[in-house]
């Protein structure tokens, strides 16, 4: 049972991370242009890390924030459940 929760945690983390990265780059591309978004992706990734906050303050959109940080919280919760099942066995 712990393996199922651990795999589910990794799947949630990967999906939320990939979608969050895509939406973050898309947000930066709409603000600064595609060239600078790609430069941020490969050379200077800090704007991508703060893109959920940019989305909140610039657009009032909480979607990217909830997806990024909520996905991380869901990962930790599922991983914690997995560890609890391991200790139980």
- Looking at residue 7, its pLDDT comes to 95
- Looking at residue 18, its pLDDT comes to 94
Asked if 83 and 2 touch (Cβ cutoff 8 Å), the reply is: yes
Q: Tokens standing for 29?
A: 């591309």
**Of 21, 18, 15, 13, the residue nearest 79 (C-alpha):** 13
- Looking at residue 17, its pLDDT comes to 92
Asked if 67 and 16 touch (Cβ cutoff 8 Å), the reply is: yes
62 secondary structure, DSSP code: -
Q: Tokens standing for 84?
A: 């609890």
The pTM of this model reads 0.83
- Looking at residue 1, its pLDDT comes to 85
**Of 69, 71, 78, the residue nearest 9 (C-alpha):** 78
pLDDT in tens, the chain (89 residues): 889 999 999 999 999 999 999 999 999 999 999 999 989 888 888 888 899 999 999 989 899 999 999 999 999 999 999 999 988 76
- Looking at residue 45, its pLDDT comes to 86
């Amino acid at each position: 049972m712990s393996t199922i929760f651990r795999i589910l945690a990794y799947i949630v983390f990967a999906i939320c991370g990939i979608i969050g990265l895509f939406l973050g780059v898309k947000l930066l591309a709409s603000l600064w242009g595609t060239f600078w978004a790609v430069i941020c992706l490969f050379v200077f990734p800090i704007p991508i890390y703060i893109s959920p906050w940019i989305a909140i303050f610039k657009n009032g959109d909480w979607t990217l924030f909830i997806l990024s940080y909520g996905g991380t919280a869901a990962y930790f919760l599922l991983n914690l459940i997995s560890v609890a099942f391991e200790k139980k066995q």
